[in-house]
Amino acid sequence: MRGKFITFEGGEGAGKSTQAAMLASRLEALGLGVVVTREPGGSPGAEAIRHVLLSGAAKPLGADVEAMLFAAARDDHVRCTILPALEAGKWVVCDRFADSTRVYQGALGKVDARLIKSLERVSIGDLVPDLTLILDLPVEIGLERSKERRGDATPDRFEAEGADFHQKLRDAFRAIAADEPQRCVIIDAGTGKEEVAKLIWDAVTARLEPDRKAAEQPAAEQSAPAGTIAKKLAPEDPDDLAEELFAPEDSSS
Ligand code: Z5A
C-alpha cells in the first residue's frame, strides 16, 4: 500500500523542523515506516543546490532562476527520496515543499504564475501531498525564535529579509490554505511545542487515520512496492508542456 505524504509549510521559526520530528516519532510509535525529509534538499543532488540557494549565490540571477533551482532540487528530491519511500509504503514527512515556491518565488518574488505552474508540473507531476500542515504564527514570534536559534551566525538569504516580507509570506500561506481546504490545515503554532504537536496530531488522525493504516499494514508489508503512484510528467508530453508555458495569461486568475 502506498504511504502517505505530509508536508509542513509556514514562515521562519514556525517550528516546522521541530514538529516534523515530533510527528515522525508518533507515527513510528504506531509501527509505521517514516521518512523525514526537507526542502530545499533531502537528496544528495538537492542538498548541493540548497547550498547555492541559501548562500544567496543565486540571488543576483533573479527570482525566475531561483525558482528554477528550487524546482531542480525538488525534481531530484522527488525522484530519489520521496517517490521511492511512498512506493515502499512509508509515510513521508517533508519540511517545506511546492507551496514554499508558490509563496517565496511566486507571491513574494513575483515570478509569473505560469512559470511556477510549469515548474511544478515538471518537478512533481501529480504528486500532491495527502495533507499540508501550515504552521501559522505572528511574524515577530517566528523571527525571534529564528534569531535565538541562530545565535551569532549570519542570517541566510531569506532570514535577512524585513518584517514586511515575512508578513506577506504569512498572508500568502494563509491564502493557499483558504484555496485548498481539502489538502491544507492551518495550525496555530504560536503556543508551546506540545500544544502545537497536539493540534497537528488531531489533524493527522482526522484526515489520514494513521491508527487504522498501521493496523491494516503489517510491518512486513511496509517495504513492499505499492501499486500505482503519481508519476511525474512523461517525456512524451512535451506538447502539453509547451502549451502550458506559452499559453496567453488567464485574465480571470
Ligand atoms: N524556500 C524557498 O524560497 N522556496 C522553496 O521552494 C523552498 C524554500 C522549499 C529554507 O530555509 C529557505 O528556503 C526558507 C524558504 C526558502 N527560508 N528561509 N529562511 P531553512 O530550511 O534553513 O529554514 P526554514 O525552512 O525557514 O525553517 P527554520 O527557520 O529552520 O524554522 P522552522 O523549521 O519552522 O522552526 P524550527 O527549526 O523547528 O524552530 C525554530 C526555533 O524555535 C528552534 O530553536 C526551536 O526549538 C524553537 N521552537 C520551535 N517550536 C517552538 C514552540 N512551539 N515554542 C517555542 N519555541 C519553539
Q: Is the pLDDT reported for residue 251 higher than 60? A: no
Does the Cβ of 89 fall within 6 Å of ligand 1? no
16 CA → ligand 1 middle, Å: 6
Does the Cβ of 14 fall within 6 Å of ligand 1? yes
CA angle 13, 15, 17 (to 5 degrees): 110
As given in the structure block, the three cell numbers for residue 232 are 511525474
Distances (CA, A) of 113 to 89, 192, 238, 246: 33, 36, 19, 12
For 180-208, how does the pLDDT look when each residue is reduced to its tens digit (9 = 90+)? 999 999 999 999 999 999 999 999 999 99
Distances (CA, A) of 59 to 41, 150, 166, 178: 18, 21, 18, 30
Computed over every residue of the chain, the mean pLDDT equals: 88
Identify the pLDDT of residue 243.
58
Confidence of residue 211 (pLDDT cuts 50, 70, 90): confident
Identify the pLDDT of residue 238.
44
Long-range contacts of 24-30, Cβ-Cβ distance < 8 Å, separation of 24 or more? 24/93, 26/197, 26/201, 27/91, 27/93, 27/204, 27/210, 30/210, 30/211, 30/214
Mutate to test the pocket of ligand 1, among 38, 93, 100 (most ligand atoms within 8 A of CB): 100
Q: Is the pLDDT reported for residue 233 higher than 50? A: no
For 77-136, how does the pLDDT look when each residue is reduced to its tens digit (9 = 90+)? 999 999 999 999 999 999 999 999 999 999 999 999 999 999 999 999 999 999 999 999
Identify the pLDDT of residue 216.
81
181 CA → ligand 1 middle, Å: 23
Identify the pLDDT of residue 197.
98
Separation between Cα atoms, residue 11 and residue 170, nearest integer Å:
6
CA 124 and chain centroid, separation? 11
Sheet containing 91-95: order of strands: 34-38, 91-95, 5-10, 131-136, 184-188
